[in-house]
Amino acid sequence: MKKSLLMLMLLAVAGLLAAMQGTINLSDSPTASNLLRNTMDGLSVRYNIQQLDYKEVETPEGVFTDLWVDGYASTNKTGYPRLPLLRQIISVPVGAEVTATFNQRQSRSLDLNANGIAYPVFPRQESVSKSVDPATVPFVVERDFYNRNAWTDDAPVSVTELGYMRGERLFALILFLCVTIPPPDRRK
């Protein structure tokens, strides 16, 4: 009797955990960035994202959904949605003008609710030292941002000059996943 009760409880916990996380398949091709062209007048890169993973996170401010793509980092604005981004360092000739544009863009709109995501995207939090009591650290949510119905402010692709290292001029090439944050009255 005890064994069957324990097994039933373990199955219930496993079911709850499975309901709290999931995957949205975006492409049949694997997640990758491929250099298509690299010449003196520029470069072309193709990005593909196979899947977007998520899990629900319970916080002092309520339930949020954490999104990630394997191999990607995340945005770093505290209190704003923590979204997947890919940051690659490129070397650029001295004196060259650098801009980032989409030559060909295949994007897709997703209804997050229809894909199992019922809560707002998890806001990025500051790193905390292991010596600090987590209960004393405030949970930061930029409510003005979360209460509006708009896209995130970052461009989907951008470049940022990093400086020089060992005689090379370095830039960060950044691919950013954009999302719309629905107002609270449209969230379920």
Q: What's the rounded mean pLDDT across residues 58-80? A: 93
Please write the tens of the pLDDT for every residue from 121-143: 899 999 999 999 988 999 999 98
- The gap from C-alpha 115 to its chain's centroid, in whole angstroms, comes to 16
**Which DSSP category does 131 fall into?**
T
Please check whether the domain covering 22-186 is classified as CATH 1.20.1050.140. no
> Residue 184 CB: number of other CB atoms within 10 A?
11
Does residue 182 surpass a pLDDT of 80?
no
| Domain extents in the chain | 22-186
pTM, two decimals, is 0.75
Q: What are phi and psi of 24, to 5 degrees?
A: -110, 115
Strand partners, 180: 151
**pLDDT value at position 67?**
92
- In this structure, of 13-27, 109-123, 153-167, the range with the lowest mean pLDDT score is 13-27
* DSSP conformation letters of 11-49: HHHHHHHHHTEEEEE--SSPSEEEEEEEETTEEEEEEE-
Q: Which residue has the higher pLDDT, 11 or 45?
A: 45
DSSP letter for 137, please. S
Strands (E), 60-144: 62-68, 73-74, 84-92
Tokens 């199955």 map to which residue?
A: 11
